[in-house]
Amino acid sequence: MTPTVVQLLSQARQCLAERLQLPETEARIEAQLLLSRALGGVSRAWLITHEQDTPALDQHQTFESLLERRLNGEPVAYLLGQREFFGLPFNVTPAVLIPRPDTEILVETALALIPDQQAMRVLDMGVGSGAIAIAIAKNRPQTQVVGIDRSEAALEVAKANAEALDAPNADFLLSHWFSSLGGEEFDVIVSNPPYIAAGDPHLAQGDLRFEPSSALASGTDGLNDIREIVAQAPGHLKSQGWLLLEHGYDQAKKVADLMRANSFIEVRSVADLSGILRVTLG
């Protein structure tokens, strides 16, 4: 007997909860997302109103293969090729870090420093999918945002996202941190750089196993890239400009000290939704 939508969902939910130890709600949502995709992109609401439908054999097989890959640990965002960030749908590939809700506080903090009607210049270092740069560009149409990355593959994803999301004020450039940037000075520099210590066991768990390690790990204490950015940023900022960095849950004080040691003033840290100091600016 061919299984119905509701049967497929309930089996998948159980497997996901057991094998990946996902909480019930997450397992249910992931099962719905994977089935929606296998059925050609129907909405989750459609699934609920078509519980007794029996998907065609090829749709059933597509669903089984997506589920199998998910059970082997592949992140849902890569399987769907998409993740929402700051209310915008971003395309993602394994060449880029999956945008995290934690990072929305970085965008919010940057937006608070960029007045609505002013034509500012903003630099996003290590753009990946372009999530931060494009979220800023969409919310501040007068502002010009430049996104750099050392990965050609990441820049392609970012450019395609800017095009699909209609953000003509976001431009992208191949550069390893400041190496290919000229003498231009920016009003705001933002970055969610790699900041995990190379030996951190989290790198061998969950989604992180499938994400580019060049976007996650940064030397023995996780601060190699942040040190480089903080040291060089003053040469690329206007005198009243701001540097904003996302960092690990226990790095706020170290990043603030680094900024002060590099002549930044008004240094402070901002907490994310979980109350963790996640962004430091100066």
Residues lying near ligand GLN in the complex (CB under 6 A)? 100, 102, 192, 194-196, 208, 216
The runs of H, that is alpha helices, within 144-206 are: 152-164
Q: Shortest gap between Cβ of 145 and ligand GLN (angstroms)?
A: 19
Question: Is 126 annotated among the ligand-binding residues?
Answer: yes
Name which of 196 and 237 has its Cβ closer to ligand GLN. Answer: 196
Q: Tell me if 89 is assigned to a ligand binding site.
A: no
Name the pairing type of β-strands 170-174 and 144-149.
parallel
> Of 172, 207, 244, which is closest to residue 83 (Cα–Cα)?
207
Q: Distance between CA 191 and CA 269 in Å, rounded?
A: 14
Q: Is 73 annotated as a binding residue?
A: no
CB 165 within 8 A of CB 134: yes
Alpha carbons within 13 angstroms on the beta-carbon side of residue 170 total: 28
Shortest distance, CB of residue 262 to ligand GLN, whole angstroms?
A: 20
Q: How far is the CB of 200 from ligand GLN (least distance, A)?
A: 9
CB 237 → ligand GLN: shortest distance, Å?
21
Question: Which is closer to ligand GLN, CB of 208 or CB of 244?
Answer: 208
User: Given the complex with ligand GLN, which of 122 and 196 has the nearer CB atom?
Assistant: 196
Q: Binding residue per annotation — 124? A: no
Q: Which is nearer to ligand GLN, 98 or 162 (CB)?
A: 98
How far apart, in whole angstroms, are the C-alpha atoms of residue 226 and residue 190? 11
Please tell me whether 255 is known to bind a ligand. no
C-beta of 20: minimal distance to ligand GLN in Å? 16
Q: Identify the helix (H) or strand (E) that includes residue 239.
A: strand 237-246
**CA–CA separation, 124 and 80 (whole Å):** 26
The annotation status of 192 as a binding-site residue, yes or no, is yes
Q: Is 42 annotated as a binding residue?
A: no
Compute the chain's Rg from CA coordinates: 21
Crossing angle for the helix pair 57-71 and 24-38, to the nearest 10 degrees: 140
Compare residues 69 and 100 and give the one whose CB is closer to ligand GLN: 100
Write the single-letter amino acid at 102. D
- Pick the closer one to ligand GLN by CB: 67 or 217: 217
Interstrand relation of 186-191 and 237-246 (parallel, antiparallel or unpaired): parallel
CB of 23 to ligand GLN, least distance (A): 18
The binding site for S-adenosyl-L-methionine comprises: 126-130, 149, 177, 192
The binding site comprises: 126-130, 149, 177, 192-195
The binding site for substrate comprises: 192-195
